[in-house]
Amino acid sequence: MVQPIGIIILLLQNYYRMSVQRKYEIMILLTEEFNDSELKTWVFNYAKNLRKFNVCDISVISRGKHNLAYSIFNKNKGNYIQLNFSSMPKYLTTFSNILKLDSHVLRFLVFNKEK
């Protein structure tokens, strides 16, 4: 039988784990259709959306346009963007869903930088 105190401690540990900000990195592969100013605008708008969820320490690194090893949606080139930020883990699915709905995003990958 589990003691009520044990249950409370487990709930508090889970809440603490989900409410503490952690460092993440998202690598995003965008279509090659963007010129430099359009790419900056897209990244600025996505970063602005992240700020709505109390994301902080946002840094953006453009990794340039590269040929792809294989075609993705009949695209052979893409723009690579690296986004570093701090956020609560509970918002990661929201960030991923925003990227999934964007037609300019070919692929993305989220890394937890604290492990």
pLDDT in tens, 72-103: 999 999 999 999 999 888 888 888 898 999 99
Phi, psi of 52 (to 5 degrees): -65, -20
Q: Can you count the helices (H) and strands (E) in the chain?
A: 3, 4
Q: Return the domain boundaries, the chain.
A: 21-112
Residue 13 has what pLDDT? 53
pLDDT above 90 (res 50): no
Mean residue pLDDT of the chain comes to 83
Neighbour count for residue 54 (Cβ, 10 Å): 11
Domain at 21-112: CATH code? 3.30.70.60
Beta strands in 48-112 (DSSP E): 56-72, 75-87, 105-112
SS3 67: strand
90 Cβ neighbours under 8 A, 6+ residues apart: 18, 19
This prediction's pTM = 0.77
β-bridge partners, 56: 86
